[in-house]
Amino acid sequence: MVPQSVELGRLPNSDLYRDATRFGTVDLLNGVRVFRFDAPLLFANIDLFKKRAQKLASEAGQYPTIIRALVVDGSGIICIDCMGVNTLKEFSLEMAQRNVIVYLASFKAPVREMCQSVGFDKKVLRFYPSVHDAIHCALSEASMEGDLLGDKAATEEISHM
């Protein structure tokens, strides 16, 4: 069975993020993509994870813009091995070289604990409790750098939720 992955979008007027292909009325933020991988992040499928995440990070979607933030929704990753942790770290560093910051959201406690047990760098792997929190952080960091992602109304709406 091939692991599934999807792009998530925000349901209008909420802080909920759902499959963009199943829910036709989701909002995609300018410069931000949300990626969910629905499988354990183990040796057998790390290449698939990287390939799909990199593809999404390079697509502009409905906006003619450069992607600056990729939120990885880890709610579908139920376990991880050392190769998976290393892949997250390498992927985050590769994306940083392309000026894309990776935010890790909604990862289960055992997965976060595995990352901590192998000594990950907190500057490289940044965990957030929810997708919404990660996006809020991405938008805040971008506005501090003068690189406002998305349109002003969407940014303000998300900031007030």
Query: What are the domain boundaries of the chain?
Result: 4-159
pLDDT in tens, 9-30: 999 888 999 998 888 788 888 8
For residue 132, the surrounding DSSP H or E stretch is helix 131-144
**CATH value of 4-159 in 3.40.190.10, 3.30.750.24, 3.30.70.100, 3.20.190.10:** 3.30.750.24
Stated pTM of the model = 0.87
At residue 66, the pLDDT reads 79
* 160 has pLDDT over 60: no
Nearest to 87 by CA among 42, 138, 151: 42
Mean pLDDT of the chain: 85
pLDDT band for position 93 (50/70/90)? very high
- Are 110 and 77 within 8 A, CB to CB? no
Helices (H) and strands (E) in the chain, counts: 5, 6
pLDDT band for position 95 (50/70/90)? very high
